[in-house]
Structure formats: structure tokens, C-alpha cells
Amino acid sequence: MQNDENPLTIIGDWGNANFHAIAGWIAANLRFRIQGPGAPGSQYVIKTGSGYRDNIDAVASGAADVAITTPADIALEMAVAGRDFFAGTPYPHLRTLGYIPQDDRLVLAVRADTGIESFADIREKRPALSLATGSRGEHNLMTWAVMEALRSHGIDPADIEGWGGRWMEHDHPRRALEWAISGEANAVFFEGILVPQWWSFVEKVPVRFIPMEEEALGDLSSRLGLRPGTLERGRLGAETDVPCLDWSNWGIVVRDDMPDEMAHMITAVMVEERAELEGRYRHLPYERSPLSYPIDPYTMHKGLGAPLHPGAERYYRDNGYLS
């Protein structure tokens, strides 16, 4: 069990978004359960991160005890096996406590005045795209997926600049969408479709969502395990269903050496205090809420990319959520 000399460390996001809210929610409720504030073991450290590889690396290496990452299945599948984005660094000792639901997509949208309606148009017209997306660094799984999606459509990522365009990079979708709204960028390839700036983009600017091609989606699935998804008709004003990539759910990541009682207690917080976390989002319409409420204890342990920690599994089973 953690103590004040060895506090539980949780790594979230940049410090101002959903993963940090989850980290604070877990830490606060653990604090209340361990004999109250000031008791031994009631101190916690919350670190900033990208939510992607650095978060997972931190838990795997012991620099953090708990991390939040997304998508809950793909990121952990790759990390556990040491394949693709995590090639050469398998982390078979990673475990999960479950996921917090989020219904997200990774999608390409362009300003309508580009004249682009399809990936075929991009290949044939070779437009100068000012493409707003995440940082193309070693930690960003999303931008890696963006570049792989371009390749699967027959577009080398280097073509963006080769055709007179540019990459506009920022980890936060809010900033990328602001560039698109102002006209600094004429295309956005991002997830986080529930941030308000996505709605501002489609409401202020004529926008086209570019459907991913069936063959490309099949390649991304078979080659890399990326999940096909659909931006449903009407969502963000889409005129038709738009094939894209699924980017859903926030996984809670730990190691197999976390004490069973701690894993059990954190899982209990995730289930028993879920109304508190949901309450931060219920003022938002469901279709605009980053958290897909309600959190369901009967499903939040399913479809994960790493095994459940035994302490978490015991909690779900003992309370009737896992048959």
C-alpha cells in the first residue's frame, strides 16, 4: 500500500482536460476512503502527460502507478504485445481496472472551399492542405494513426508538404479547430469530436467530412488492428454516415504488481463514485458530452486491450458485474 513517502502517482493529460478530472476524482475518493485527509497513505501525485505513449511508458516503467489513455483497446493491445506503435517494447505486465466510456471518432474534415470531397480527390488533385492535427512526436498515437491512414489511402505523409501544404501540430483538438475556424488551416484530422470547437467549426464554416475508403479501413484493421468506426449521419451535422476510425473509451492502466487491495479500492471508486464524475458532464447534452454517461459497471470491464488486474476482477465478480 502507498504511504506518504511513496505516494500513489497518477498520470493524466496536459492538466486541463478530462484525464486530469479522472485522476483528481480517483485521488480524492481514495483519500476519503483511507481514514480521511492527513491519514498515512492519503497523499497522491498527479502528473501531466499526453494521454498516449508517455502515459503508458510511465506506468510500465514504474514512474507512475496509474495512467489514463485512449483508445482503451488499441493502445493497450499494441503496448502489451510490443507491436506497431510500441514495436520493440512489449509491456506484458500491464493490466487495467476498466474504462470510462467515451464515444469518439478519428475523422478528416476539410473546409468546403477546398473542393475536396474524397481521398481520391486528394490523390488526384494534390491540394495544398494546411492540415491541423496532433504533434508528430514519438508519444502521439493519434498522429501515428493519422499518418498510417494517409498511407493506407495511397498518400505519403510527406506529400502534404510536397504538394505545397503544411502540417499544423498541437496536442489539443481545441487549438487545431481554432486554426480551422480562422482559416489558418483548411483541413483537420483529429479525434476529440466532442469538444465544443468541433461544433463551432461545422456551424461557422462550410465543412465536408471525408469518408475513409473501405479498402483502406480494411488495411488499417488487418495490418494494425485499428478499429473502423462511423460518424453517424447528423452527428456534427454530417449529411451522411462517414466511415472513419473509432477512437473510443478511456482506459485505466496499472501494472500487475499493484497490490490487489489497491486495485480493488480504485475499481470500487470507479464504480461506486461514478455519479460524482458523471455529474461533471450531465449538464451537457449526451451527443456533446466527452463522457458517455451513464458509466455502466456491467460493461466497463469488457473489450480492453490488456487483462484485468486480479484486484479489479475480484471487485467486479464479487459485486455481480462479472459472471
Provide the residue count of the chain: 323
Q: Does 294 sit behind a cis peptide bond, omega within 30 degrees of 0 on the bond before it?
A: yes
Residues 206 and 145 reside in one and the same domain: yes
Q: What Å distances lie between residue 16 and 201, 232, 296, CA to CA?
A: 21, 29, 25
Residues 111 and 55 reside in one and the same domain: no
Q: What is the mean pLDDT of the chain?
A: 95
In a domain, residue 1? The reply is: no
In a domain, residue 323? The reply is: no
What sign has the CA pseudo-torsion 190, 194, 196, 202?
A: positive
* Residues 177, 188 contacting (CB under 8 angstroms): yes
What CATH number is given to the structural domain containing 290?
A: 3.40.190.10
Distance CA 315, CA 99 (A): 14
pLDDT tens across 261-286, in order? Answer: 999 999 999 999 999 999 999 999 99
H or E element, residue 80: helix 74-81
In a domain, residue 142? The reply is: yes
* Residues 249, 73 contacting (CB under 8 angstroms): yes
pLDDT score at 1: 47
Note the pTM of the prediction, 2 decimals. 0.95
Distance CA 290, CA 15 (A): 16
pLDDT tens across 61-86, in order? Answer: 999 999 999 999 999 999 999 999 99
Residues 228 and 118 reside in one and the same domain: yes
Residues 239 and 159 reside in one and the same domain: yes
Residues 193 and 260 reside in one and the same domain: no
pLDDT score at 188: 98
What is the total count of domains within the chain?
2
- Domain with 83, as residue range(s), is 8-103+248-318
- Out of 220, 245, 270, pick the residue that ends a domain: 245
- Out of 245, 279, 301, pick the residue that ends a domain: 245
* Residue 43 binned pLDDT confidence (cut-offs 50, 70, 90): confident
Please report, in angstroms and rounded to a whole number, the separation of the first and last CA atoms in the chain: 28
* Residues 77, 163 contacting (CB under 8 angstroms): no
Share of the chain above pLDDT 90, in %: 93
Q: Which of 253, 258, 200 is nearest to 56 (CA)?
A: 253
pLDDT tens across 113-146, in order? Answer: 999 999 999 999 999 999 999 999 899 999 999 9
* Residue 42 binned pLDDT confidence (cut-offs 50, 70, 90): confident
Give 45's strand partners.
9
Residues 79 and 140 reside in one and the same domain: no
In a domain, residue 132? The reply is: yes
In a domain, residue 3? The reply is: no
- Out of 216, 245, 274, pick the residue that ends a domain: 245
